[in-house]
Amino acid sequence: MDGGVYPPILAGNERILQVRNLTKVYPNPGGADLEDLVVLDGISFDVREGEFVTIVGPSGSGKTTLLNIIAGLESYDGGDVVVSGHQVSGSGTDIAMIFQEDSLFPWLNVQDNVAFGLKQRGVPKDERGKMASQYIELVGLTKFAKSYTHQLSGGMKQRVAIARGLAMNPRVLLMDEPFGALDVLTRETLQYQIQEIHERTGKTILFVTHDVREAATLGDRVIMFSHGPAKIKEQYLIDLKRPRNVEDPALTGTIGAILKNLREEDVFATDKDNLGSRE
């Protein structure tokens, strides 16, 4: 994974993403007599240029909803989301999103999948070919540039998806459980590679995961959501050199603290549900 020229790392103190008092409510389809579902309840945080931030929380706490809102894929009901000084009102070129499913085009080879967004943006053929090759090399798939998706493993497909997102040169890369469907060995390999990619490109990354160990391994900071309606319950600073791995003893204390906090949320949610059933 050597070679290539990538966008420079910008000053780390610049706030590239600002989320202020964000609220998301889903109307209850049962009618006006039933309560609406509040998913996000006053979420506020900043992400600095070049920061790698991970988000954990109980299942159903609105983590994916948050990413969809930042990506402009969902509307919101209150607050503000600002990327690069502009309020988010729809999908834009400042943001790219990587999903758990690779979402590649099976009729295109790796090279053309990575170059697809560049083609849609009107980048000349020769230039987009060079750019695609650069990011394919970055994720270690140069030998597979002419392969089709059915010829790739799950981990390789996700690396193609990451290369496609990076090729668009977004200010913020959103990642929603990108390694969740992979086996343990492949997942650990990609955890190492995404750290290397982050170090080399300086991209700002917001990464959602259910895996606390993964969150602590990857993040400069871990944001923990409470049980729905989601609020930010805690934030953890991970001031350790990279690359890291899930077995790093220096992460043990932080991982334990997050797991304890999550268990308390599960107990709280169970107690709340039981109380509701008695009322």
Interval 152-190: pLDDT, tens: 999 999 999 999 999 999 999 999 999 988 899 999 999
Element (H, E) at 235: strand 232-237
Cα pseudo-dihedral 74, 80, 83, 86, rounded to 10? 110
CB 200 within 8 A of CB 168: no
CB 103 within 8 A of CB 157: no
Instruction: State whether the Cα torsion 114-120-125-127 is positive or negative.
Output: negative
Residue extent(s) of CATH 3.40.50.300 domains in the chain? 15-94+171-278
Question: What gap in Å lies between CA 256 and CA 218, rounded to an integer?
Answer: 16
Interval 79-127: pLDDT, tens: 999 988 778 766 566 899 998 877 899 999 999 999 999 998 999 999 9
> Rounded to the nearest 5°, which phi and psi values hold at 221?
-150, 140
Is 251 or 13 the better-scoring residue by pLDDT?
A: 251
pLDDT of residue 13: 64
Is 61 or 176 the better-scoring residue by pLDDT?
A: 176
CB atoms within 10 A of CB 11: 8
CB 142 within 8 A of CB 133: yes
Question: What is the pLDDT confidence band of residue 2, given thresholds at 50, 70 and 90?
Answer: very low
Which residues are registered as beta bridge partners of 54?
A: 207, 222
Write the class of the CATH domain 15-94+171-278. alpha beta
pLDDT of residue 86: 79
Is 243 or 11 the better-scoring residue by pLDDT?
A: 243
Angle at 60 between CA 90 and CA 62, to 5 degrees: 30
Is 7 or 18 the better-scoring residue by pLDDT?
A: 18
Question: What gap in Å lies between CA 226 and CA 62, rounded to an integer?
Answer: 10
Question: What is the pLDDT confidence band of residue 58, given thresholds at 50, 70 and 90?
Answer: confident
pLDDT of residue 190: 93
Q: Where are the alpha helices (DSSP H) in the chain?
A: 63-70, 110-120, 125-138, 154-167, 184-201, 212-218, 252-278
In the chain, the percentage of residues whose pLDDT exceeds 70 is: 86
Q: The whole model's pTM is what?
A: 0.87
Which residues are registered as beta bridge partners of 87?
A: 82
Count of all residues that appear for the chain in the document: 279
> Rounded to the nearest 5°, which phi and psi values hold at 96?
-130, 150
- Mean pLDDT along residues 71-83: 91
Q: How far apart are the first and last CA of the chain?
A: 60
Which residues are registered as beta bridge partners of 18?
A: 46, 82
